[in-house]
Amino acid sequence: MDALDILTDLDHCFPYFQPVFSADEHRVIGYEILGRYNGNGQLISLGTFFQDKSIPDEYRLEVDNAVLTKALELATGLDPDVLLFVNRDADLLIHDSGEEFLQFLQQFQEKGISLNRIVLEISMDEPKDEMDHLLNYYRTFGIKIAIDKLGDESSHLDRIGQLKPDIVKVDLMPLRSMNPPPAYQDTLYSLSILARKIGATLLFKNIEMVYQLQFAWQHGGRYYQGFYLEKPIAEFIPRDILKEKLKAEFHEFIIYEKKKLEKVFEVTETFQTKLQEILSKHRRSISFEELLKSLGTDLDQVALRMYICDEDGFQISPNMFKKESKWELQPEYLQKNWSWRPYFLENMIRMRNDKRGILSDLYCDIETGETTRTFSYPLNAHEYLFIDLSYDFLYNHDSLL
C-alpha cells in the first residue's frame, strides 16, 4: 500500500487494542494502541508505515495522530486506572522537543484521560542521548516510560539503567522453541536484576504458548501480552475475561515451582546430613588435603571441584578437581581470594550464623563452561568447604536444573 493512499484516506485508519494482563490481579490493566488501515476490504497493519524512515516525518505524524485520536476518544469509557500504551518514534518526538505530543495528550485530560495513565513506548533500536531530558520532562507530568525492542540481541542494559524506565518490555519470540539460546536467558537474568534495582516492571510480549507464559512468570514478569492471551481487536474486552483461566494456570505454575523448591531443599538437607556423617568420621587433626581426598571418594559421582576458604574468602586448601574421571590436586589455587564473587561474603555470614550449608543457584563455571551449583558448608566459624556439583549430577536430579 502506497503511503499517499493511507495519508489521503485517514477515515479508514483506526486503532486496534492489544490487552495487557497482570500477574497480581489476573485481569486487564491496560491496552497497547496499534494502527490498522482498511483499504479495499483488506486489513493492514500500519506498523511498517510508522517505522518507514523514507516517509516524511510529518506524514507519519499525521497518520499516527489520527489513529491515536480515535483510540483516546474510545478510551474515555474505560475504568480510570486502565493504562494506555502509546508507541511513538523517537524522531517524531524530538523534532519539536516533544511539545506537540504533550499538548496532544493534554487535550484529552478534560475527557478523563489523565496523563498518569499514558505509557509512552520508546524503541531502543536507535538510542539517543537527547531523549533523556525529554523523557524526564514527560515524567514530571505523570507520563510513564516503557522501553521496547528487547530480546536475546539486547546490548542496551547500560541505557536502561540510565533512563530508569517504568516498564521494560521483553520479546518472547526467541522462546518459540522449548530450549531458548543460553545468551537469551543470560541477558534476561541480567535484565531482571537490573529492573529490580531501578524499580522497573517487566512486561513480556509475544506470548503465544502456555510455556512462554510460565517462563515469563518464573522470570519476574508482572505484565503479559500476546496471542495466547488475546489478539489485538478493534474494541475493549471485559477486564476479568481471563481471570479464572489465569488464576488456574498460575496455580499450576505455583505448584510446579514449590515442588522444585522442595526438591532443592531436600538435596540441601541430604548434603547437610552426608557431610556431617563424613566429617564425623575424621579426626580434627586431619589435613585439608586428606579431608578433600576422603570427600572425593565419598562424593565421586557428585562433585566437580572442592576447596576450603577462610572467613575472608582466602583459599586455604588446594583445589580437588575431577579431570577425566580422576581426582587431582591443584595447589596453585592456594591463597586465591574469592570475596569479590556476588553473595560470597553474605553467604559466609549466613553459614556462620545458621551453622548450615547453602546450595547456590545455577551458574556457568568460568573454567569448564559447565552449568553447576555450589554447596557451601561451614566446617567451623572460620573455615568453609565449597563443593561445585557436576553437570551429570544436576542432570540426574532435574529439579536442580
Q: How far apart are CA 169 and CA 354, in angstroms?
A: 39
Question: What one-letter code names the amino acid at 196?
Answer: R
The pLDDT of residue 153: 47
Phi/psi for 356 (5° steps) reads -140, 160
Q: Which residues does 83 contact at the CB level (< 8 Å), separation at least 6? A: 20, 29, 30, 31, 117, 118, 119, 144
**Residue 281 has which C-alpha cell?**
568420621
Q: How far apart are CA 297 and CA 157, in angstroms?
A: 45
Scanning the structure block, which residue is given the C-alpha cell 533512563? 163
Is the residue at 390 inside a domain?
Answer: yes
Based on the domain organization, do 196 and 282 belong to the same domain? Answer: no
Based on the domain organization, do 291 and 149 belong to the same domain? Answer: no
Please tell me the number of Cα atoms within 13 Å of 370 on its side-chain side.
16
Is the residue at 254 inside a domain?
Answer: no
Based on the domain organization, do 101 and 210 belong to the same domain? Answer: yes
Based on the domain organization, do 224 and 323 belong to the same domain? Answer: no
Q: For residue 357, what is the DSSP state? A: -
Is the residue at 214 inside a domain?
Answer: yes
Last residue of a domain, one of 214, 233, 252: 233
Please tell me the number of Cα atoms within 13 Å of 253 on its side-chain side.
18
Domain count, the chain: 2
Domain that holds residue 390: 272-400
**Residue 191 has which C-alpha cell?**
535484565
The CA-based diameter of the chain, rounded to the nearest angstrom, is 90
Based on the domain organization, do 184 and 301 belong to the same domain? Answer: no
Which of 156, 219, 167 has its CA nearest to residue 193?
219
Based on the domain organization, do 218 and 280 belong to the same domain? Answer: no
Is the residue at 74 inside a domain?
Answer: yes
Based on the domain organization, do 279 and 209 belong to the same domain? Answer: no
Based on the domain organization, do 218 and 136 belong to the same domain? Answer: yes
Q: What is the CATH number of the domain that holds 68?
A: 3.20.20.450
Scanning the structure block, which residue is given the C-alpha cell 538510542? 127
In tens digits, the chain (401 residues) has pLDDT values of: 688 889 999 999 999 999 999 999 999 999 999 999 998 888 999 999 998 989 998 999 999 999 999 999 999 999 999 999 999 988 788 877 889 999 999 999 989 999 999 999 988 665 566 788 899 999 999 999 999 866 444 456 887 888 899 999 999 988 876 666 667 777 888 888 899 999 999 999 999 999 999 999 999 999 999 999 999 999 999 999 999 999 999 999 999 999 999 999 999 999 999 899 888 877 666 789 999 998 999 999 999 999 999 999 999 999 999 998 999 999 999 999 999 998 899 999 999 999 999 999 888 898 898 999 999 999 999 999 999 999 999 999 878 88
- Beta-carbon neighbour count of residue 290 at 10 Å? 12
The pLDDT of residue 178: 63
Is the residue at 238 inside a domain?
Answer: no
**Mutual angle of helices 57-75 and 99-106, in 10-degree steps:** 20
Q: What is the CATH number of the domain that holds 345?
A: 3.30.450.20
Based on the domain organization, do 172 and 90 belong to the same domain? Answer: yes
The full DSSP string for 199-265 is: TPEEEEE---SHHHHHHHHHTTEEEE-STTT---BSS---TTTTHHHHHHHHHHHHHHHHHHHHHHH
Last residue of a domain, one of 233, 256, 287: 233
Based on the domain organization, do 209 and 339 belong to the same domain? Answer: no
Is the residue at 28 inside a domain?
Answer: yes
Is the residue at 264 inside a domain?
Answer: no
Based on the domain organization, do 293 and 176 belong to the same domain? Answer: no
- 192 in Cβ contact with 199 (< 8 Å): no
- 187 in Cβ contact with 156 (< 8 Å): no
Last residue of a domain, one of 233, 251, 284: 233
Based on the domain organization, do 226 and 140 belong to the same domain? Answer: yes
Task: State the alpha helices, DSSP H only, in 13-53.
Answer: 47-51
Is the residue at 245 inside a domain?
Answer: no
Q: How far apart are CA 263 and CA 231, in angstroms?
A: 38
The pLDDT of residue 95: 74
